[in-house]
């Protein structure tokens, strides 16, 4: 695949991922390669590569004789993603902490404030993702950051699918504790708080089903 085709496939994968994360494509829905190629005016090769990218992110599955379909999920998968995020984000923060500038920490604080002020789950998710990305952005480990980004996309999908209650603003004390620890140079404590913070995802009682999303899970993280 040429570099131009690779760029097209990457853009297409991002667009399809956004649709899946927002719930515009329900779990189990088949993604028709020819229809997508026609809709976006791209080659079938680009669509196939976009599908591979989405499968690597855990957003679609390729099934024999059933084609490529939007992946279903349950609470066990939510917990798996939480455990993976905790491990990888802590690793990234250990390497990033020595290089976090006051300006970057100010940006992260603004993102945390946006979380606290969010009027809906979509705004909260975007601000939360920005906070988590900023505090690990200086780790100089691009493959690790790419893996974390993929996990955040899946985590966002779980969140947006599972949240049905009326949104209420909330103060995230963990975000504040992480920032306070980083500002005083205590990376070890920041990592401890971050690990516990992310691992809370999915610990709410009840079972989340892909079909009904009847029960919500913990959104912190």
Q: Is the pLDDT of residue 5 over 80?
A: no
Last residue of a domain, one of 33, 52, 70: 70
Rounded-to-integer distance, Cα 190 and Cα 181, Å: 5
> The tokens 């993604």 sit on which residue?
31
Does 59 have pLDDT greater than 50? yes
**What are the tens digits of pLDDT across the range 208-218?**
444 444 344 45
66 and 84, same domain (yes or no): no
Count of domains for the chain: 2
Q: What is the domain range of residue 191?
A: 75-199
Q: CATH number, domain at 36?
A: 1.10.10.10
Q: Is the pLDDT of residue 164 over 80?
A: no
Q: CATH number, domain at 178?
A: 1.20.120.530
Are residues 131 and 172 part of one domain? Answer: yes
Residue 23 is given by DSSP the state T
Same domain, 141 and 99: yes
DSSP classification of residue 59: S
Same domain, 87 and 9: no
Burial classification of residue 21, based on how many CB atoms lie within 10 Å of its CB (0-12 exposed, 13-18 middle, 19 or more buried) = buried
pTM of the model: 0.71
Does residue 21 carry a pLDDT above 70? yes
Determine, yes or no, domain membership for 216.
Answer: no
What are φ and ψ of residue 112, in 5° steps? Answer: -65, -40
Residues 54 and 128 in one domain: no
Give the end of a domain, one of 70, 86, 119.
Answer: 70
Task: Note the pLDDT tens digit of each residue in 68-83.
Answer: 998 877 778 888 889 9
Residue 153 lies in a domain: yes
In this predicted model, which residue has the larger pLDDT, 103 or 63? 103
Do 56 and 79 fall within a single domain?
A: no
Tell me: do 90 and 126 sit in the same domain: yes
The verdict on residue 213 lying in a domain is no
**Mean of the per-residue pLDDT values of the chain:** 85
Assess whether 98 and 142 both reside in one domain.
yes
Q: Is the pLDDT of residue 30 over 80?
A: yes
pLDDT at 175 over 90: yes
Q: Dump pLDDT digits (tens) for 93-131.
A: 999 999 999 999 999 999 999 999 998 888 898 999 999
Domain contains 205: no
Residue 37 lies in a domain: yes
Q: How many whole angstroms separate alpha carbon 38 and alpha carbon 32?
A: 10
Average pLDDT over residues 63-71: 87
């Amino acid at each position: 695949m040429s570099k131009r085709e690779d760029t097209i496939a990457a853009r297409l994968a991002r667009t399809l991922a956004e649709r899946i994360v927002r719930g515009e494509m329900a779990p189990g829905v088949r993604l028709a390669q020819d229809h997508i190629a026609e809709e976006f005016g791209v080659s079938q090769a680009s669509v196939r590569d976009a599908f591979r990218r989405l499968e690597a992110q855990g957003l679609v599955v390729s099934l024999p004789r059933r084609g490529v379909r939007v992946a279903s999920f349950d609470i066990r998968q939510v917990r798996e993603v939480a455990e993976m995020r905790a491990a990888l984000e802590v690793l990234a923060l250990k390497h990033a902490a020595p290089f976090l500038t006051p300006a970057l920490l100010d940006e992260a604080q603004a993102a945390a404030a946006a979380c606290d002020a969010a009027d809906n789950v979509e705004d909260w998710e975007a601000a939360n993702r920005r906070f988590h990305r900023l505090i690990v952005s200086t780790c100089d480990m691009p493959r690790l950051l790419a893996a974390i980004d993929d996990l955040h996309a899946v985590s966002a999908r779980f969140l947006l699918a599972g949240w049905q209650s009326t949104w209420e603003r909330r103060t995230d004390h963990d975000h504040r504790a992480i920032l306070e620890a980083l500002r005083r140079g205590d990376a070890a404590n920041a990592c401890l708080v971050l690990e516990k913070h992310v691992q809370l995802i999915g610990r709410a009682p009840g079972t989340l089903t892909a079909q009904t999303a009847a029960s919500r899970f913990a959104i912190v993280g």
